[in-house]
Structure 1
Amino acid sequence: MSNVELENARWDCHTHIYGPWHDFPLPADAVYRPAAAPMSSLLDVHRKLGISRGVLVQAACYGSDHSALLDAIARTGGRYRGVALLDGSESDDQLRALHEGGVRGIRFNFMGHLAAEVDLDRLRTQAERVGKLGWHVLLHGRLAQVLPVLDAWRALETLLVVDHMGRPDGVDSSESAQRELLWDLHAHLQDQRRWIKLSGVDRMMSPSARPWQEAEPLVRDLLAAAPERAIWGSDWPHPNIQGDVPDDAKLLEFIESVCGGPEAAHDVLVRNPLRLYG
């Protein structure tokens, strides 16, 4: 792709890959065992959606073995970037190798089925360290789990991205307790170092049968809080999801509807991720 094409390409900022197993098998102690979903399949999905840039988030089942992720990025000639899972023991040389391989962030998991014992001081040290490389940190958890981290790290210079919108409950979005959490999130998003990923509406509305459109006001409100720092991801191939696997084309249509027009959609799908991932 030419530089002009790269600068105007649409991004999917949240995907995972699994396999092919003969090249990238799972470890014996994998925390879950998904169906194979190799990079070739993701590229087919993205071609159909008109997406030519993306972000591979290291799958928890691979732990700190980034072989599949780095191989996939290399095969795209750098059009895709990566988000790593680190344990804090990595040497400077190992971090530089990840950076040269296209990694631009790390992910901290606070969800019950993924989180280890949380040590915010240790995680902050990791966040500060990768921030010096120009990386960001994805904070994955529910609002009640993520907001205390944002509070504790108000002075942290490293960019923080709230993953999947903080996993709000779309069914109970009118409940006063959740409204207060969302107001707190809005306050944090006034900080130019804090970003929001407008992904996971399918998980937000699950397991109810209510249409995603009912979540549009909530998602549009989060977009309005940080329009120049909002990105989108499909979460392909939708690991560990309850209910039916969502249609990725419908997820893209949803975020375009939330944006309400081509200029805002261009920000979320093109300009903002280009600024964050390069």
Structure 2
Amino acid sequence: MTEVTTDSWLEWKRDLADPQVMLPESSVDAHCHVFGPGAEFPFAPSRKYTPGDASKADLEKLHQHLGFDRRVIVQASCHGRDNSALLDALDHFGNSARGVVALGPDVSHEELMAMHERGVRGVRFNFVKRLVQSQPIGELQEVAEKIRDLGWHIVLYFEPQDLPELESSFSVLGVPLVIDHMGRPDVGKGVDSQEFAEFLRFIERTQAWVKISCPERLTKVGPFAVDDAEAIYEDVAPFARRVLDEFGNRALWGTDWPHPNLKSHMPDDAVMLNYLSQITESDRDLTQLLVDNPDALYWTGEIQ
């Protein structure tokens, strides 16, 4: 299928290759989205990008093709704090799905309880300035206090240059933290850079969980290696392996489907599974990453 654009962003691929990687039973896609359909679930007027529709039925078809049995659906900034599309998807998938919403300190206890019953287990705060308006840091603490007794966590999305300014606020929240996409490291600086070392120390200090997802967003060289036809995102893989080496019991992976606001290339999600073979060393590692870790955080509550 020819790639098309929405507001200059590439549209997600519908015709996928056959997966070459067999996923363990009960595997979890720990970071995916639903967008719209816009006619039913309008996008936020304040959004900074407009994605193409990517419905719960599209997500279900994707996961059946790839072999995922469970999923964590994450609210994206284009829907703002209207979580209607996400909650509708949770109702559709039942216990095979969990959700991460976007909300503010004005949320009531009754609203939180209702969302918990529908499968919500976290709140996402996006600090990537090119994607969202400025977000008051004080809201973070207020929301943390409201969700603490529910056992929820906070998902944080930021870029590395902003971590020094934000770290002190993140470190005192008193709830589990989950970091999106390895804190978006500048892979051009190398895995031994001072910047990435500071990120790893932050993870150690806060005992945060880390999503080692989105190599397609982080790569500088593109998806395919020049000298190895089977290698993909070879400049990002060392960062994921470092996280797995140091924090393997708190690492998560997700497709980031439908890959919003990409311009350079749109990955084939079946081919993306090959990346898992590059960053894990054994079937046991793969099971921990795709089954055991997300199960502990989102289903059983047995956080290590």
Instruction: Tell me, yes or no, whether TM beats 0.5.
Output: yes
Find out whether 1:86 has 2:103 as its counterpart.
yes
Find out whether 1:188 has 2:202 as its counterpart.
yes
C-alpha distance in 1 between matches for 2:148 and 2:277: 31
For 2:217, the equivalent position in structure 1 comes to 203
Q: Structure 1 residues 51, 114: closer, same or farther in 2, change over 3 A?
A: same
Residue in structure 2 matching 1:58, options 75, 81, 105: 75
Shift of 1:8: 4.4
Question: Contact conserved, 1:207 with 1:242, CA < 8 A, in 2?
Answer: no
CA root-mean-square deviation: 2.1
For 1:149, the equivalent position in structure 2 comes to 166
Shift of 1:173: 2.1
For 2:142, the equivalent position in structure 1 comes to 125
**Residue 78 of structure 1: SS of its match in structure 2?**
helix
C-alpha distance in 2 between matches for 1:270 and 1:246: 23
Q: Which runs of 4+ in 1 moved over 4 A?
A: 206-210
C-alpha distance in 1 between matches for 2:96 and 2:143: 26
C-alpha distance in 2 between matches for 1:227 and 1:28: 39
Shift of 1:208: 5.0
Question: Contact conserved, 1:171 with 1:208, CA < 8 A, in 2?
Answer: no
For 1:3, the equivalent position in structure 2 comes to none
Deviates more, 1:127-136 or 1:68-77: 127-136
C-alpha distance in 1 between matches for 2:223 and 2:87: 38
Shift of 1:148: 3.9
Question: Contact conserved, 2:155 with 2:180, CA < 8 A, in 1?
Answer: yes
C-alpha distance in 1 between matches for 2:279 and 2:187: 15
For 1:163, the equivalent position in structure 2 comes to 180
**Residue 249 of structure 2: SS of its match in structure 1?**
helix
C-alpha distance in 2 between matches for 1:210 and 1:145: 30
C-alpha distance in 1 between matches for 2:204 and 2:272: 26
Residue in structure 1 matching 2:252, options 231, 241, 244: 231
C-alpha distance in 1 between matches for 2:145 and 2:95: 25
For 1:24, the equivalent position in structure 2 comes to 41
C-alpha distance in 2 between matches for 1:261 and 1:26: 41
Question: Contact conserved, 2:127 with 2:134, CA < 8 A, in 1?
Answer: no
Gaps of 5+ in 1: 1-6
1:216 is matched by which residue type in structure 2? Answer: A
Shift of 1:150: 3.3
Find out whether 1:245 has 2:260 as its counterpart.
no
Please list, as runs of the form range in 1=range in 2, the aligned pairs for 1:103-122 lying within 5 A after superposition: 103-122=120-139
Q: Structure 1 residues 266, 23: closer, same or farther in 2, change over 3 A?
A: same
C-alpha distance in 2 between matches for 1:202 and 1:186: 21
1:68 is matched by which residue type in structure 2? Answer: A
Identity of matched residues, %: 35
2:195 is matched by which residue type in structure 1? Answer: L
C-alpha distance in 2 between matches for 1:132 and 1:251: 37
C-alpha distance in 2 between matches for 1:60 and 1:257: 30
Find out whether 1:134 has 2:164 as its counterpart.
no
Deviates more, 1:156-165 or 1:14-23: 14-23
Q: Structure 1 residues 209, 268: closer, same or farther in 2, change over 3 A?
A: closer
**Residue 31 of structure 1: SS of its match in structure 2?**
coil
Question: Contact conserved, 1:55 with 1:83, CA < 8 A, in 2?
Answer: yes
Q: Structure 1 residues 160, 27: closer, same or farther in 2, change over 3 A?
A: closer
C-alpha distance in 2 between matches for 1:199 and 1:110: 18
1:182 is matched by which residue type in structure 2? Answer: F
C-alpha distance in 2 between matches for 1:27 and 1:156: 28
For CA contacts below 8 A with separation 6 or more, give which structure has more relative contact order.
Answer: 2
Find out whether 1:98 has 2:110 as its counterpart.
no
Shift of 1:230: 0.2
Question: Contact conserved, 2:47 with 2:132, CA < 8 A, in 1?
Answer: no
For 2:57, the equivalent position in structure 1 comes to 40
